[in-house]
Amino acid sequence: MSNSKIDKYIYWVPAAAIDAAAGRLTADGYQLRKTFGSQCEVLKCAGKRLGHAEPAGFSRMCKRQGSWYRHSAKAGMHLIVADHRLPNYMQRYLDATMAVSDFQPKRLPTPVELRAVVDSDQYQDTRPDEWEKYSLMDRIASKILFTLTGFWRKGDNLDTAWLGHQANHANFLAKKHTARIDGEDVAYSVTENASVCSSCVEFFNLVTEDSRKLVRSCPGSITLSGAKRDVYYDVKPVVAKPQDSELQLSAAPDRQPAVS
């Protein structure tokens, strides 16, 4: 798999630090654009217009899916996404990067193999209970949106796609289906886009935080946020982060990159 240019930089900022971070970014000419629908809207960031998802944003449009955030180590934190590396004072909050890859699996798992992934202890012991409880409204909304946008055909619905929804998250936890890349076994999305749900869980590194991931976009992120279809995003965690004592938000301004 060839290396690609980084498309997105994923930052997670603690609630106690968001005001100082936002103030410093604003002073440097950045605009924090809050999401008002789905949290994946942060992917529409461009130049000095940054995507910003507040904690409450994970309980709005995709509330059930947002349970992965509410049950993660990042619960209560603010998500900021940029299409370039932010100034040095934000480095401590850089959590992961996203890049379009040329990876394609040789084949996708069969339904029997998908069920085995879903039945794994790693998934069953980690998944939020709320995630599994989809409602009649979930069925109606997904049927309308994904049929109108062409992801689902006649006869497709949330019930038929549900195994894929589960298995895509489950494989990143259980790592049953992986690709050997750069000496590492990297888990990947195990269905086509039409059966992916809440790819934000992996895009924004909410699970298996120290593991690289190859992630396909869900129909929502493609429709609402411009994520690409039929490709895998290479999500790489940032392992080494500076200590708070090394970088201070009150430090002298850094030289800004040229951003159009």
**pTM (2 d.p.):** 0.90
**Does the pLDDT of residue 206 top 50, yes or no?**
yes
Task: Check residue 258 and give its pLDDT.
Answer: 34
Percent of the chain's residues with pLDDT above 70: 91
Residue linked to tokens 């085995």: 116
Q: What is the pLDDT of residues 90-143, one digit of tens each?
A: 999 999 999 999 999 999 999 999 999 999 999 999 999 999 999 998 899 889
Q: What is the pLDDT of residues 30-44, one digit of tens each?
A: 999 999 888 999 999
Task: Check residue 239 and give its pLDDT.
Answer: 79
Write the DSSP symbol of residue 167: H
For residue 130, the one-letter residue type is E
**Does the pLDDT of residue 255 top 80, yes or no?**
no
Task: Check residue 253 and give its pLDDT.
Answer: 36
Percent of the chain's residues with pLDDT above 90: 79
Q: What is the pLDDT of residues 37-89, one digit of tens each?
A: 889 999 999 999 999 999 999 998 899 999 999 999 999 999 999 999 999 99
Task: Check residue 3 and give its pLDDT.
Answer: 63
Residues 244-250, mean pLDDT to the nearest whole number: 46
Better-scored residue on pLDDT, 212 or 137 = 212
Classify 84 in phi/psi space as left (phi over 0), alpha (psi -120 to 50) or beta: beta
**Does the pLDDT of residue 250 top 50, yes or no?**
no
CA-to-CA dists, residue 201 to 1, 114, 118, 165, 182, angstroms: 23, 19, 16, 12, 23
- Angle, helices 136-148/158-174, rounded to nearest 10 degrees: 90
Better-scored residue on pLDDT, 208 or 251 = 208
Among 177, 61, 160, smallest CA distance to 117 is for 177
Task: Check residue 104 and give its pLDDT.
Answer: 96
Nearest 5°: the CA angle 112, 124, 181 is 65
Dist CA 216 CA 226 (whole Å): 13
Among 143, 192, 190, smallest CA distance to 169 is for 190
Residues 143-165, mean pLDDT to the nearest whole number: 91
Enumerate residues 6+ apart whose C-beta is below 8 A from 221.
Answer: 38, 40, 43, 199, 200, 203, 227
Among 78, 67, 105, 94, smallest CA distance to 216 is for 105
Residues 180-191, mean pLDDT to the nearest whole number: 96
Residues 247-259, mean pLDDT to the nearest whole number: 39
- E strand or H helix that includes residue 21: helix 15-27
